[in-house]
Amino acid sequence: MKTKLLITLLLGAGILVACSEMNPHPMDMTQAVQSATTKADHEALAKHYEEAAKELQLKVEEHKKLLSQYQARSQLYGKQLDSLVSHCRMLINAYEKAAEANLSMAAMHRQM
């Protein structure tokens, strides 16, 4: 029971740390999008979205490595393995979708 509680707390803390590290929009995106009128403005927004997508793709690769490690050393994790694998896959999927959305936004701004 204590082990389950500890793992749950560690996973929860890990999620909070992972989310707090992400700053996908360091600028005021609402203001930047609304005031974008020139080609240079849209180019800057496209570049921003592409950089965010690259950061997200790094997160995907990081979690793929974690997933691989969990699966390679499955005997170490016992009953928690399924939760850890599921958690990694969920994050991989979420980061991939977010990266795709950022690349889509970048493409739209490049067309403007």
Q: How confident is the model at residue 5 (pLDDT cuts 50, 70, 90)?
A: very low
Q: How confident is the model at residue 8 (pLDDT cuts 50, 70, 90)?
A: low
Q: Determine the pLDDT at residue 66.
A: 96
Query: Which pTM was predicted?
Result: 0.70
The alpha carbon of residue 18 and the mean position of all alpha carbons in its chain are separated, in whole angstroms, by 8
pLDDT at 96 over 90: yes
pLDDT at 93 over 70: yes
pLDDT at 103 over 60: yes
Judge contact between 24 and 50, C-beta under 8 A. no
Q: How confident is the model at residue 6 (pLDDT cuts 50, 70, 90)?
A: very low
H helices then E strands: how many in the chain?
5, 0
How many angstroms separate the CA atoms of 73 and 81, rounded?
Answer: 9
